[in-house]
Structure 1
Amino acid sequence: MASKDKKPTFEDAFTQLRETVEALEAGNLSLEEATGLFDRGMKLAKTCNEMLSAAELQVSRLQRSFGEQMAMMQTPQDEPDEDDEEEKDA
């Protein structure tokens, strides 16, 4: 019973989806079996899509956080001084 409550990993869900699609493509199924597999496939596709969207959001947040950290790490020494500008003009 605990295994039904546990959400599958993306890899597990994708493997199950691929197997479901292969079974549908192979044919030799009754209408009831095909409809049941199609329903299962749609649920697995939704699960995979939700997991991918969550991962994409997490990556975006990490990239934004990294960019903010890099901006804060830049010191005024990284920017040219007024004295340096005057020396270049001379």
Structure 2
Amino acid sequence: MRKKAREQDVCFEDALGKLESIVKELEKGELPLEDALGMFAEGVGLSQICLTKLNAAEQAVDKIVREEKGQLNEYPLKVEEGEKC
């Protein structure tokens, strides 16, 4: 049985890489049901870690301030869904 990843134990890039490899393996459709369910559960956990880390990054970016006329102003980050890098 696979060890469940914890948020503090894995960086975003590692979690995303593991998640991508799980998705590829599941898409092959060659795993026994029990193994596929275990991998699916791990993938759900990894996706939650990625989402949590992305939300934290978004909050950090939201706090980036711009100095304008001697005042610090906070501007929210606006990201449209489906936007590519």
Q: State TM-score, norm by structure 1.
A: 0.66
Gaps of 5+ in 1: 74-90
Give the C-alpha shift of residue 10 in structure 1.
Answer: 0.7
Name 1:41's counterpart in structure 2: 43
Measured in 1, the distance between the counterparts of 2:55 and 2:30 equals 34
Name 1:60's counterpart in structure 2: 62
Rg larger in 1 or in 2? 1
Q: Percent identity?
A: 35
* More strand by percentage: 2
Deviations 1:5-44, CA, capped at 9 Å, x for gaps: 7521111100000000001001111110010000000000
Measured in 1, the distance between the counterparts of 2:24 and 2:16 equals 12
Match of 1:70 among 50, 53, 68: 68
Runs (4 or more) in structure 1 with deviation over 3 Å come to none
Q: State TM-score, norm by structure 2.
A: 0.70
Equivalent pairs counted in the alignment come to 66
Gaps of 5+ in 2: 72-85
What is the root-mean-square deviation in Å for CA atoms of aligned residues? 1.7
